[in-house]
Amino acid sequence: MNILDTENIEAQEHDINVLHIVSGDLSGGAARGAYWLHQALKELGVKSHILNTSSKDLNDNSVCSISNTKWKRVKSILRSFLDRILLSFYRKRSGTIFSCGVVGFDITKTDMYKNADIIQLHWVNDGFLNAKILQKINKPIVWTLRDMWPITGGCHYSLDCELYTTGCGACPQLASSFPFDLSYFLYRRKLKYFPNTVHVVGISKWMTDVAKKSKIFSGCTYETISNNVNCSYFKFLDKEKSRHLLGINTSKKIVLCGATNINDFYKGFSFFLESLKYLNADDVFLCFFGKIDQDIIKKTGFEFHEFGYLHDNIALNIVYSIADVFVAPSIQEAFGKTLVESMSSGTPVVCFDATGPIDIVDHKVNGYKAKAFSSEDLACGINWVLNASTCEFEALRVDGREKSLSCFDTNVIAKKYLTTYMNLLTPSSNR
């Protein structure tokens, strides 16, 4: 039971010190959402700090990196290498991301840890956090699940495998048929070292439901708090001016698709490529951001432009603004931050009616949720948006922006976390 009314939390000085543990570049990917949350918490008066692995300097003295010198960077690279070394025994494994969590940095030895009231874990892989360290943490732990890794034997998205519900082993992503393989060992290691006092936060209802199926967080408390987007970075921009600024000169409708790495297996890019068979190349111009194989796109026969990896929010806002529709064909997605960014920029979204995006898109209100996993219906959704009247299209844009601001904006989500922190720090007898 919440002891506070989230809506009535005002900006004030809160005697709460939160330490966020985040691996990766804070300007992109899952870590960016964690950094936006950190900034919003500070605006609410929370003493928020981040311990991070990135070597990039954000000129933020509340962020400390364990890789901020050459020698520390070498040690971080070595930890990352050692954490992956067990995978070398599985030479036929798939190219999907798989993390072991057997090597890492001891956060409990830092002053930031000692001064913290609450430890909030986010994405902690790539040799950052050894699962064994969690047994040393004697403070409340909030774990924001940004993918499935904390509840599996090593994979970050299980796809159609549900072995994580029973204990893993014979892992399909390791191409293993042995029941007592690496995934089995890693799963039981998490069972041993992950405390049952963790407050688990799924960034979508799907993520929370999936976490409850795993034995690893059995006995823990659960909550769903959506991932957050700093919507102030994403505004309605003039479409024609945006296209002119980026040198996109076409009278065709623009279909946009993008992610940090579109080729990641769970992003479902093959479904998007298949959907192109149901679209008219004479009417559609394709645009992409993120890592992509141009040779594959050339074979489709569509005109296209690739923007590459976009490092800043201004560029992202402009790219979203040139499009008539943004397509997010993910197979499994813990949330779907790009969908909210696109909707905040005034570009309707087409996605599958599955996993995290279910919470974001309202069917035929601010976008289109295609049948999972039908490439033909994905194309139907694209055509539905592209053929909307001017009045209908404007309604899609406005509703998408309003949904983003009211449900997913960083300030809204930060207040929910503040309520959670205060509940955790209040003696149970007073709740």
Per-domain residue ranges of the chain: 6-228+410-430, 232-407
Q: What is the pLDDT of residue 431?
A: 41
Question: What residues have CB less than 8 Å from 178, skipping those under 6 apart?
Answer: 169, 170
Neighbours of 362 (CB within 10 A): 15
Mean pLDDT of all residues in 274-289: 96
Mean pLDDT of all residues in 150-160: 96
pLDDT at 64 over 80: yes
pLDDT band at 260 (very low <50, low <70, confident <90, very high): confident
In whole angstroms, give the CA distance from residue 42 to residue 200.
Answer: 22
Q: What is the pLDDT of residue 103?
A: 95
Q: What is the pLDDT of residue 12?
A: 56
pLDDT at 428 over 90: no
DSSP for 372-415 reads TT-HHHHHHHHHHHHT--HHHHHHHHHHHHHHHHHHTBHHHHHH
pLDDT at 355 over 90: yes
In whole angstroms, give the CA distance from residue 252 to residue 241.
Answer: 15
Q: What is the pLDDT of residue 429?
A: 41
Residue 179 structure tokens? 């029941």
Q: What is the pLDDT of residue 2?
A: 46
Neighbours of 166 (CB within 10 A): 11
In CATH terms, 6-228+410-430 corresponds, of 3.40.50, 3.10.450, 1.10.540, 3.10.620, to: 3.40.50
Question: What residues have CB less than 8 Å from 363, skipping those under 6 apart?
Answer: 353, 369
User: Same fold for the domain at 6-228+410-430 and the one at 232-407?
Assistant: yes
Q: What is the dihedral sign for C-alpha 386, 388, 393, 399?
A: negative
Q: Per mean pLDDT, which range of 27-31, 91-95, 356-360 is the poorest?
A: 27-31
DSSP for 230-246 reads -GGG-----HHHHHHHH
Q: Per mean pLDDT, which range of 61-65, 257-261, 345-349 is the poorest?
A: 257-261
- The closest of 202, 47, 62 to 118, measured between CA atoms, is 47
pLDDT at 242 over 90: yes
Rounded to a whole number of angstroms, the distance between the first and last alpha carbons of the chain is: 7
Question: How does pLDDT run across 30-57, given as a tens digit for each residue?
Answer: 789 999 999 999 999 999 999 999 887 7
Q: What is the pLDDT of residue 143?
A: 98
Name the fold adopted by 232-407.
Rossmann fold (3.40.50)
pLDDT at 376 over 70: yes
pLDDT band at 9 (very low <50, low <70, confident <90, very high): low
Higher pLDDT, 55 or 318: 318
Q: What is the pLDDT of residue 27?
A: 78
Asked whether the beta carbons of 360 and 206 are under 8 A apart, the reply is: no
Asked whether the beta carbons of 426 and 419 are under 8 A apart, the reply is: no
Q: Per mean pLDDT, which range of 22-36, 69-83, 338-352 is the poorest?
A: 22-36
pLDDT at 6 over 60: no
Mean pLDDT of all residues in 173-188: 97
pLDDT at 172 over 80: yes
